[in-house]
């Protein structure tokens, strides 16, 4: 009896600890200002203040921040999926001179810490006149070595009979990739896409450095600025945090079946 | 009617036709020694342009920039002056110490916590996917937004943690605003005030354990499911207790997973920025006690506009990461037990 119940008790206690910040965030988001900044153990708001959310959107241009974040994150996600499908396929299925050296170079970019490229990239963005413009937020993140590597692994695991059969039917590499291979590696496409979206939507340092105008802020930068300006209006800050978290959590729930499959494969091989 | 349907069909087949035409073109320019080179060049071009322009090129440019002094640009050539200045600077070594505390504090604890949760999850019959989802949730939430929540919970004036401490009759603490070291606070000896990580840094570490454990749990679960169950079973039949089974059978078999996680998390903890920045408001923390190397580089670059010096520090950080990774491969990698 003890041995059957104990794991559930421990996991349950862990769940309470891990989810407590979420619960506290949501209940605080619905409190009044005095209630939120009272030193109290009372978690529940006496009256649920729904208007806090409208007030948050009035207090700072979050609608604009969200527009920027979504525009950037969706473009980056789509671009990463396309570039990694193409490059991953080339490295997995094509034979050409220098393929191993090129693949080595691609993997090498994975080991460069972003701090090293931060300042030169900033200079490059200035030179290109992309400061305070969308390309600065999007273009540098349109391809990454890890996604290419994952996609290559996925293509390697496809039986080569598929390609041979398609070739006999007169289908070249490009049509094979678009019509047959890409749909077959869908779990990996979802995984790569989700990682790309999370990475782009949650990034802070790069957008902080390449944008200065309020209209160009993404939500993460907007939220840090908001917290500096509105530190005392805790209930509004929690509202803002909740709506910033919401899209990624929703996306995770929608994609998690594929996502976990994909990341499990990435974790144990290699 | 038929013509309308036909033209729709044409439209839908159009991308496919384009691909076919491209395929044929590439087929025609197939020269023997080059093999698939033309089509490979086409497929690789977008990725290579981005990675080259924003990955490899800046790497070389960074090494070049680090040889120049001055503000807001390159300035005068100073040779290795920036490197010498960094090595002689207290703030630089202080930031390295913060990074070291951070890595040493978060990695073992996150691993221990994640392994425990993954092990329990693996051995329960029901609710595994529910618990897995819950424990992974912090990992997908934005570190910035989550940090705002933690700052509220640990707020010295109205935070719920201090409210709890007061209820239990314990003196409330300053948490993320406290520059005194955790050793001084535990032992009550003022002599230890600047020995060891500050309470603020410990708060940042606790946050990172909470935020990063979901990733490790998923990887541990994958590792656990690759272990043949008969081995644990056999050990149990031979009379080993549950802790002995974990220590003598499960953990050695998991060593490739643990090794992978160790390498990845050392690299990640040496690059931590978002959580530190958002939890302390500016990254520096009370008396600079949470300023790790990344924050130091950011502040030299963005607050003091010393570009050359910033890139020099970044190069030193890169060197440190590479050294640590190689050391891990050479000395720890040898002990990893592969089947």
Over residues A25-74, the pLDDT tens digits come to 999 999 888 888 887 778 888 889 898 899 889 888 999 999 999 999 99
- Do both A111 and A219 map to the same domain? yes
Q: How far is CA B264 from the centre of its chain?
A: 7
- Whether A179 and A204 map to the same domain: the answer is yes
**ipTM reported for the complex surpasses 0.85:** yes
Half-sphere exposure for B28 (CA within 13 Å, toward CB):
6
DSSP label of B171: P
Q: How far apart are CA A45 and CA B3, in angstroms?
A: 65
The answer on A182 and A134 residing in a single domain is: yes
pTM: 0.88
The answer to whether residue A54 sits within a structural domain is no
Same domain, A16 and A74: no
In whole angstroms, what is the distance from residue A251 CA to residue A256 CA?
8
Domain shared by A107 and A43, yes or no? no
Render the burial of A106-143: b for 16+ CB within 10 Å, e for the rest. beebeebbbbbbbbbbbbbbeeeebbebeebbbbbbbb
Same domain assignment for residues A142 and A29: no
Chain A interface includes B322 (CB < 8 A): yes
**Residue A244 belongs to a domain:** yes
For residue A33, give its domain range: 1-49
Q: What is the CATH number of the domain that holds A65?
A: 1.10.3720.10
Residue B270 CB coordination number (10 Å): 23
Contact at CB, B137 and A252, closer than 8 angstroms: yes
- Spacing of C-alpha A78 from chain mean position: 12
Residue A10 lies in a domain: yes
Look at residue A112 and give its three-state secondary structure.
Answer: coil
Cβ atoms of B148 and A239 within 8 Å: the answer is: no
Do residues A139 and A226 touch, judged by C-beta distance below 8 A? no
Domain-located, residue A230: yes
> What three-state secondary structure class fits A41?
coil
**Which distant-in-sequence residues (6+ apart) come within 8 Å of A161 by Cβ?**
none
Closest listed residue to residue B142, CA positions, set A246, A129, A42, A167:
A246
Coil, strand, or helix at residue B51? helix
Q: What is the pLDDT of residues B25-37, one digit of tens each?
A: 887 776 766 778 8
Domains of chain A: total: 2
pLDDT above 80 for A115: yes
Please indicate if any CB of chain A lies within 8 Å of the CB of B310. Answer: yes
Query: Both A100 and A168 in a single domain?
Result: yes
Question: What is the token pair recorded at A5?
Answer: 């119940």
Same domain, residue pair A37 and A66: no
Q: Which residues of chain B neighbour A94 with C-beta distances below 8 Å?
A: 35-36, 39-40, 43
How far is it, in rounded angstroms, from Cα B84 to Cα A109?
27
Q: Tell me: pLDDT of A24 over 60.
A: yes
Residue A41: which of B164, B222, B310 has the nearest Cβ? B164
Whether residues A117 and A240 share a domain: the answer is yes
Q: Which of B13, B30, B146, B149 to mutate to test the interface with A (most CBs of A within 10 A)?
A: B149
The residue assigned the tokens 């089509």 is: B39
The whole-number pLDDT of residue A32 equals 86
């Amino acid at each position: 009896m003890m041995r059957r119940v104990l794991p559930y008790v421990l996991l349950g206690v862990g769940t309470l600890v891990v989810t407590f910040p979420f619960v506290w965030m949501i209940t605080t988001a619905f409190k009044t200002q005095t209630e939120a900044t009272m030193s109290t153990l009372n978690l529940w708001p006496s009256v649920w203040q729904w208007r806090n959310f409208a007030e948050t959107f009035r207090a700072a241009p979050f609608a604009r921040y969200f527009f920027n974040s979504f525009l950037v994150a969706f473009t980056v996600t789509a671009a990463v999926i396309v570039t990694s499908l193409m490059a991953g396929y080339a490295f997995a299925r094509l034979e050409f001179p220098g393929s191993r050296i090129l693949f080595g170079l691609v993997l090498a970019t994975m080991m460069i810490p972003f701090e090293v490229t931060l300042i030169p990239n900033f200079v490059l963005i200035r030179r290109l006149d992309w400061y305070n413009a969308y390309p600065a937020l999007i273009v540098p993140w349109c391809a990454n070595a890890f996604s290419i590597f994952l996609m290559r692994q996925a293509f390697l695991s496809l039986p080569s009979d598929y390609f041979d059969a398609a070739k006999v039917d007169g289908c070249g590499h490009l049509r094979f990739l678009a019509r047959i291979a890409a749909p077959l590696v869908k779990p990996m496409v979802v995984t790569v896409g989700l990682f790309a979206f999370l990475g782009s939507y949650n990034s802070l340092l790069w957008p902080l450095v390449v944008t200065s105008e309020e209209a160009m802020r993404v939500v993460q930068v907007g939220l840090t600025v908001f917290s500096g300006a509105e530190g005392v209006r805790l209930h509004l800050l929690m509202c803002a945090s909740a709506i910033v978290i919401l899209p990624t959590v929703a996306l995770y729930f929608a994609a998690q079946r594929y996502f976990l499959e994909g990341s499990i494969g990435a974790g144990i091989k290699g | 009617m038929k013509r309308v349907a036909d033209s729709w069909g044409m439209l839908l087949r159009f991308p496919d036709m384009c691909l076919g035409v491209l395929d044929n073109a590439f087929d025609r320019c197939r020269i023997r020694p080059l093999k698939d080179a033309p089509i490979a060049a086409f497929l690789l071009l977008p990725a290579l342009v981005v990675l080259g322009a924003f990955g490899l090129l800046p790497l070389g440019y960074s090494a070049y920039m680090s040889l120049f002094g001055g503000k807001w640009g390159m300035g005068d050539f100073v040779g290795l002056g920036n490197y010498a200045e960094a090595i002689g600077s207290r703030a630089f070594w202080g930031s390295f110490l913060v990074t070291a505390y951070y890595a040493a504090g978060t990695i073992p604890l996150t691993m221990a916590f994640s392994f425990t949760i993954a092990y329990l999850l693996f051995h329960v019959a029901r609710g595994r996917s529910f618990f897995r989802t819950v424990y992974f949730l912090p990992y997908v939430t934005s570190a910035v937004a989550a940090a705002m929540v933690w700052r509220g919970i640990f707020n010295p004036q109205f935070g719920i943690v201090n409210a709890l401490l007061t209820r239990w009759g314990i003196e409330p603490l300053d948490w993320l605003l406290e520059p005194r070291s955790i050793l001084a606070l535990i032992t009550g000896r003022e002599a230890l005030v600047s020995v060891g990580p500050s309470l603020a840094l410990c708060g940042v570490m606790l946050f990172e354990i909470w935020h990063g454990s979901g990733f490790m749990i998923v990887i541990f679960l994958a590792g656990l499911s690759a272990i043949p169950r008969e081995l644990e079973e056999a050990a149990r039949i031979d009379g080993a207790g549950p802790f002995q089974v974990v220590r003598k059978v499960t953990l050695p078999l998991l060593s490739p997973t643990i090794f992978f996680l160790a390498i990845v998390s050392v690299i990640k903890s040496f690059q931590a920025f978002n959580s530190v920045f958002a939890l302390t408001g500016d990254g520096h923390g009370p008396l600079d006690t949470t300023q790790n190397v990344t924050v130091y580089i950011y502040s030299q670059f963005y607050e003091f506009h010393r570009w050359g010096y910033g890139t020099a520090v970044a190069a030193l950080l890169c060197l440190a990461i590479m050294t640590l990774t190689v050391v891990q491969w050479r000395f720890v990698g040898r002990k990893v037990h592969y089947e």
